[in-house]
Amino acid sequence: MARIAVVSGAGSGIGRSIATVLAEQGWTVAVGDIGEAGGRETVEQITAAGGEAMFTRIDVTDGAALEPWFAEVAERWGGIDALVNNAGINGPIALLEDYSAEDFQHIIQVNLVSVALATRAIIPHMRRRGGGAIVNIGSTASLQGYGSLSGYTAAKHGVLGLTRTTAIEYADIPIRVNCVCPGPVDTPLMQGIYEAMSPDDPSVAREMFAQTSALKRYANAREISAVVAFLLSDAASYVTGAAIPVDGAITAGV
């Protein structure tokens, strides 16, 4: 019987790669994204390769929408085994005093509160299943500070704290909960950072971020997805409450 995974923010970038890699490994994947075109394209790629997937347009900050989405997935395929909380945004690149309260609240809502809402909504399904695994996509910003990204950094620190707490609270089911912390990955999300930091020549910011890694390069999305797939697999059955950097040694030190 195929295992069932739900992946948010799977219409592009890391989320699409995670959904695709899981499908390649035999998972059935429920793809969620606020962007309909990208989400449907992810499903088309999976089904064209022989996998099984469905798309639902979802705003992850809408807790009332998450519960019926998960219920639909569980009814269609008999249950839910895994959740990947991947949806997120950068928010403004600015000093804290230049953030509006609305901007700060929005980035916390999208990057942190949504993870809590989705986790809370998925737990009853995993309890009925007798267990499950959750991977939250954090960032190197879960582990260290970044100037001019206070909202994003605060949210991603919160994701790690939430990961550790829920891993403890639901270990008895058992539900394993881990946090993957990518460094720079060449995705549309990073492109937005380049353009905000260096609008005249985004390639300058792009090269700067590449040099922050000891490996002097970006990760590709499949390198992140491989770690996520491992954490969702039975091979990681004793791994929970962990923060796993996939960052080319950015957080190892200088």
Q: What is the mean pLDDT of residues 182-203?
A: 83
Q: What's the mean per-residue pLDDT of the chain?
A: 95
**Other Cβ atoms closer than 10 A to 196:** 15
Q: Tell me the per-residue pLDDT of 119-162, one tens digit each, with 9 for 90 and over.
A: 999 999 999 999 999 999 999 999 999 999 999 999 999 999 99
Structure tokens given for 179: 């946090």
Any idea what the CATH number is for the domain that residue 94 is in? Answer: 3.40.50.720
Residue 198 has pLDDT above 90, yes or no: no
Q: How many domains does the chain divide into?
A: 2
CA distance 72 to 78: 10
For the question of residue 152 being annotated catalytic, the response is yes
Q: Please tell me the predicted confidence (pLDDT) of residue 209.
A: 83
Is 253 contained in some domain?
no
pLDDT at 196: 76
Same domain, 146 and 160: yes
Asked whether residue 91 falls in the same domain as residue 156, the answer is: yes
Q: CB-based contacts of 155: which residues, under 8 Å, 6+ apart?
A: 88, 107, 108, 110, 111, 112
Please report whether residue 254 resides in a domain.
no
Domain co-membership, 103 together with 49 = yes
Are 209 and 235 part of one and the same domain?
no
pLDDT at 73 over 80: yes
Residues 74 and 198 in one domain: no
Q: Are residues 107 and 192 in the same domain?
A: no
Catalytic option among 146, 152, 170, 238: 152
Question: Domain for residue 18, yes or no?
Answer: yes
Domain that holds residue 157: 4-183+220-246
Residue with tokens 């309909």: 36
Question: If you write DSSP's letter for every residue of 90-155 in order, what string do you get?
Answer: ----B-GGGS-HHHHHHHHIIIIIHHHHHHHHHHHHHHHHT-EEEEEE--GGGTS--TTBHHHHHH
Residue 251 lies in a domain: no
